[in-house]
Amino acid sequence: MGGLRKIVDKMKPTFSKGGKLSFLESTFDAFETFLFVPNTTTSKGAHIRDCNDMKRTMIVVVAALLPALFFGMYNTGYQVGLTGWAAFWLGFCEVFPMIVVSYVVGLGIEFIAAQIRGHEVNEGFLVTGLLIPMVMPVGTPLWMIALGTAFAVIFGKEVFGGTGMNIFNPALLARAFVFFAYTPYISGETVWYASDAVSGATALEQLATNGAMSYSSLDAFLGFIPGCVGETSTLAILVGALILLVTGVASWRTMISVFVGGLAMGYLFQALGVTGYPAWQHLIVGGFAFGAVFMATDPVTSAQTNKGKYIVGFLTGALAVMIRVVNPAYPEGMMLAILFMNALAPLVDYFVVEANISRRKKRVKLAK
């Protein structure tokens, strides 16, 4: 690493102010801080020193996504009748181009925006660029992923000021754009497979239309069912959840509350006789677990207060199940539930803070 550090230091003056390529300073800074922890510190004002900057945090999230991603690649081949290395290789060949397109388009826009504004390159797309292909069916055309990514980055992030300023989760915005603009390409019985010769409804679609799924609960939990690339294996997703919780990157309050809210609404519908299948099956099919672990816990778009995290998480899970059951034409409700609660999260935080202020004022009056 010492040799690499010397090479970077030798190149730095060229990209610094006054250098020949100074107009690419923000781009060079992005690569330097990706390789090394920044050695700059604040000189005034309140500040916190921590070795875990945003890039390091984003890398932890990427690592947590890998179990679901790798299993999704294997499952892509498994769904068309392959096993072992052949199944994984087919999935890799199908999914990797989706990842490349997502990163090239998204990072390209981020770098251009940073150069125009003269700002540092935001690190948030390290995760978003991987999330976007993972919430898409394997058969999604690459041009559609590019268009959805561009929409998410431009209208979901940059118009609000970049990473940390966005209201909605960018990856879900990309999926929502593709879903509502090109619905036949992202729903139905033929889009989940890497072969035109194979087709079939997902487990979630079967629950919505038939009240039961043809797959065993164990297969649904392990992930041997058709679905979006990263959403099929609840087990792999829980491994990622463990990584996020142990490292302190994600909020356990939000994560657990989503599952509790989904179960509560599921059992309510089951008690009312609206659904005939166990409420817990909602948690192992579709994008419920993936959304609870990697989407609802987004620290930018979710609630900031501890009580708000409980409220937003619970309502997200409950709303997702409600959409699934009430509207069979749209069986996957997790995307809309999270986006809806993204919009309400600031309002929830506002009322939580106001309630705290009101209680403190009452205590002051009693003290007097």
Longest dimension (CA), the chain: 78
pLDDT tier, 35 (very low <50, low <70, confident <90, very high otherwise): low
What pLDDT, on the 0 to 100 scale, is given for residue 139?
84
- For 231-240, what is each residue's pLDDT tens digit? 999 999 999 9
SS3 321: helix
Q: Which of the pair, 203 or 201, is modelled with greater confidence?
A: 203
Rounded Cα distance between 179 and 185, Å, is: 8
| pLDDT above 80: residue 151 | yes
What pLDDT, on the 0 to 100 scale, is given for residue 21?
61
On whether the CB atoms of residues 331 and 280 are closer than 8 A, the answer is no
pLDDT tier, 67 (very low <50, low <70, confident <90, very high otherwise): very high
What pLDDT, on the 0 to 100 scale, is given for residue 294?
96
What pLDDT, on the 0 to 100 scale, is given for residue 46?
47
What pLDDT, on the 0 to 100 scale, is given for residue 362?
84
What pLDDT, on the 0 to 100 scale, is given for residue 308?
96
| pLDDT above 50: residue 201 | yes
Vertex 146: Cα angle to 141 and 147 (nearest 5): 95
Task: Flag the least confident range among 186-195, 203-212, 316-325.
Answer: 186-195
pLDDT tier, 209 (very low <50, low <70, confident <90, very high otherwise): confident
On whether the CB atoms of residues 99 and 66 are closer than 8 A, the answer is no
Q: Which of the pair, 32 or 339, is modelled with greater confidence?
A: 339
Q: Which of the pair, 189 or 26, is modelled with greater confidence?
A: 189
What pLDDT, on the 0 to 100 scale, is given for residue 220?
95
Q: Which of the pair, 299 or 4, is modelled with greater confidence?
A: 299
For residues 291-318, average pLDDT: 95
For residues 132-142, average pLDDT: 93
Question: Which two structure tokens, joined as six digits, stand for 35?
Answer: 């390789």
SS3 360: helix
| pLDDT above 60: residue 264 | yes
For residues 348-361, average pLDDT: 92
Task: Flag the least confident range among 201-215, 287-301, 311-325.
Answer: 201-215
| pLDDT above 80: residue 15 | no
What share of the chain in percent tops pLDDT 90? 60
The pTM score is 0.88
Contacts of 102 (CB under 8 A, 6+ apart): 129, 130, 132, 133, 145, 146, 149
